[in-house]
Amino acid sequence: MVTPADPLEPQSPPAGTEPEPARQPAAEPPGDPEAAAAAPTTPRVDPVGGEQVRRAARVGRVLARTGTGLLVLGLVGAVTVLGTLEPPTVRSEAPLATVAVPAAGTTLVCPGTVRVPTEPEEGEDVAYDPQFDPSPGESVTRLGALVVDGAGGSLAGLDGAGSTRLEGTGPAVVQQRDEADQGLVLRGEPADPEEGVPAWDAGAVTATTTEGDLRGLAAAPCQRPATDVWLVGGSTALGSSARLVLQNPGQTAATVQLDLWGPAGQAEVAGAPEYLVPPGSERVVLLEGVAAEQRRVVVHLTAVGGLVTAYLQDSEVRGLVPAGVDHVSAGQAPALRQVVPGIAVTDSELDGTDTAQLRLLAPGETGTSARVTFLGPDGVTELPGTEQVDLDGGEVLDLPLGGLPAGTYTAVVQADEPVVVGALVTRGESAGQTAVEADDPLDRAWVASAGAGVPAGSLALPEGPEPTVALAVVPGAVVDVEAEGRAAVVLELLGPDGAVLDAQELSLAEATTTTLTAEELAEDVDGEVAGLVLRTADARVVWGAVLTVDDEAGELVSVLVPVAPEPARPEVGVRLR
């Protein structure tokens, strides 16, 4: 028989539950029966539902603790979100401190002489049949170099060998050298490095050949090493040759990526389009061997690992008749505005052959529309068909300049998309005419685009060719400057000893091209002019020099466009943290 538990006796909790604290009976007040009767008594616990009540109480306590934790987490999350929504604390940046930087030396790399395209490179074993001698005939190569407002400089080979110290007592140091067969490096030193103003340096090479396949005058300025080079000119069509020369004056090897555009768009280059140029050396690539039958060529070079210079020897032979040779020098990178000075044209017919030409390329995928303006001796000269020129993306276009009156012009090209531009001028008895004599030799000159906005600079004139200086004032709306009206310039003529032979103050009309012939330059000068220095603060001025050599078979021609001097950086900003 099961005896029911006494409801007043404490019960043992089930296994796994927390034991309840023992309940103590209420104390009776001693000696007061009425108070004892009024005192509360301990309630009785139902023997059937007591366990359920205790479980419910424990669940309530757990839920209460859980709710409190969730509330704390919610408050922490809210504080975090509010912290992210508040604006970040702006730290006060320390002002830029200016630090004087001494001027570094300048570097220019000069091209070598002209070479027959099939001439073997050093180390190669190639034999030629004597009756097909490819020699270019007697060629005279000269180098002119100068350092203006500096302490001097040096002239050495690409590998540093044969260094010659350039020193002088005049405002400039001038060096003339014959037989400049290989590329040379010209380094200029500032007069006072602490002032932060680098020296103005310039160099140029001319190669005059009066007979043979390479008959002509090839001239090019010495260039500053860079990682990005654009060459606008040349051809790899039958009878033409484009000899690309890569030069690395640095102490580390450079890898050069080659991109080439032709009349039908970007051309596929045979083999790997990358070329390793060892330090202090040259590398030659015949473009007709890697991209043949491209009548019109534009070359883009990108260097990695070092800075390089490059030029393109363009030549053509029609049967046994030479059709000219020249060096294609680096021009400006793609831009919405391009300026080409020193386009010296002779009389030509509108539909004549071998006329002067303007070469254009929009290297992007989309085409563009370009407007060409010619600034001549009397102002803007109109040429039918140049008001709006449609360019297909990636296709090289030659714009004939037949019908343009004889004279020296500056071409201004404005486009809706970035373009590169160059110009070609020709010389010969049949150049520009419809009636062509097959036996008449020709010569050609490629003109690179110039950097508008940096007109001041210097130009070396190697001995031999006669120079004609062309100075143009481009309208301010084109070069984004507010200047207008006439431009004031000072043209200094330097002698072989670096002394200033004459300083001509000129006032140039806007939107015109003014020329000074060799006779006009030397009119008040006793001695030979070996260099030019242009000083002006007007950013509208661009200039160049047209070089000519008289020859019995016809005039030889080439054009030099000055390389902008290194900008002065006397101070740089440094942020202190």
- What was the pLDDT predicted at 182? 80
- Structure tokens belonging to residue 58: 């424990």
Domain-located, residue 544: yes
Question: What is the distance between the alpha carbons of residues 458 and 144, in angstroms, rounded to a whole number?
Answer: 12
pLDDT at 486 over 70: yes
502-523 confidence digits (pLDDT tens): 999 999 999 999 999 999 988 8
Of the pLDDT bands very low, low, confident and very high (cuts 50, 70, 90), residue 574 is low
Question: What is the distance between the alpha carbons of residues 542 and 346, in angstroms, rounded to a whole number?
Answer: 22
pLDDT at 70 over 50: no
Of the pLDDT bands very low, low, confident and very high (cuts 50, 70, 90), residue 341 is very high
Domain-located, residue 345: yes
381: nearest Cα among 556, 470, 511, 479: 511
Question: What is the distance between the alpha carbons of residues 361 and 208, in angstroms, rounded to a whole number?
Answer: 30
- What was the pLDDT predicted at 132? 55
Its pTM stands at 0.81
Domain-located, residue 402: yes
Residue type, 418: P
Question: What is the distance between the alpha carbons of residues 296 and 234, in angstroms, rounded to a whole number?
Answer: 6
| DSSP states of 136-158 | --SEEEEEEEEEESEEEEEEEET
| Element housing 369 (H / E) | strand 368-376
Domain-located, residue 72: no
Domain-located, residue 514: yes
- What 3-state DSSP class applies to 77? helix
**Chain-centre distance for alpha carbon 448:** 14
Beta strand pairing call for 335-345 and 407-427: antiparallel
Question: What is the distance between the alpha carbons of residues 556 and 445, in angstroms, rounded to a whole number?
Answer: 9
pLDDT at 536 over 80: yes
| Element housing 250 (H / E) | none
Question: What is the distance between the alpha carbons of residues 259 and 257, in angstroms, rounded to a whole number?
Answer: 7
In 453-562, beta strands by DSSP E: 457-460, 466-473, 487-494, 500-508, 513-516, 531-535, 541-549, 556-560
What residues pair up with 220 in beta bridges, in sequence order? 205
| Element housing 288 (H / E) | helix 287-290
- What was the pLDDT predicted at 417? 96
243-276 confidence digits (pLDDT tens): 999 999 999 999 999 999 999 999 999 988 999 9
Q: How many domains does the chain have?
A: 1
Round the average pLDDT of the chain to a whole number and report it. Answer: 83
Q: Which of 40-44, 370-374, 466-470 has the lowest mean pLDDT?
A: 40-44
pLDDT at 233 over 90: yes
Beta strand pairing call for 240-248 and 309-318: antiparallel
Domain-located, residue 44: no
Neighbours of 506 (CB within 10 A): 17
Q: What are phi and psi of 6, to 5 degrees?
A: -70, 125
Tokens 């030029």 belong to residue: 311
Tokens 């902008």 belong to residue: 564
Domain-located, residue 444: yes
- Structure tokens belonging to residue 512: 């015109």
| Element housing 417 (H / E) | strand 407-427
Question: What is the distance between the alpha carbons of residues 313 and 121, in angstroms, rounded to a whole number?
Answer: 15
Q: For 195, which DSSP code?
A: G
405: left (phi over 0), alpha (psi -120 to 50) or beta: beta
Q: Are 313 and 245 in contact (CB under 8 A)?
A: yes
330: nearest Cα among 562, 541, 4, 78: 562
Question: What is the distance between the alpha carbons of residues 225 and 349, in angstroms, rounded to a whole number?
Answer: 41
Tell me the percentage of the chain whose pLDDT exceeds 70: 77
Q: Are 385 and 462 in contact (CB under 8 A)?
A: no
pLDDT at 86 over 70: no
Domain enclosing residue 310, as ranges: 106-572
Taking the alpha carbons of 185, 186, 192, 195 in that order, is the dihedral positive or negative? negative
Q: Are 324 and 241 in contact (CB under 8 A)?
A: no
* Count of positions (residues) in the chain: 577
Helix, strand, coil % (nearest 5) of the chain? 10, 40, 45
- What was the pLDDT predicted at 12? 45
Question: What is the distance between the alpha carbons of residues 187 and 205, in angstroms, rounded to a whole number?
Answer: 16
- What was the pLDDT predicted at 267? 95
pLDDT at 400 over 90: yes
Domain-located, residue 409: yes
Taking the alpha carbons of 111, 113, 118, 121 in that order, is the dihedral positive or negative? negative
Burial class of residue 201, CB neighbours in 10 A (0-12, 13-18, 19+): buried
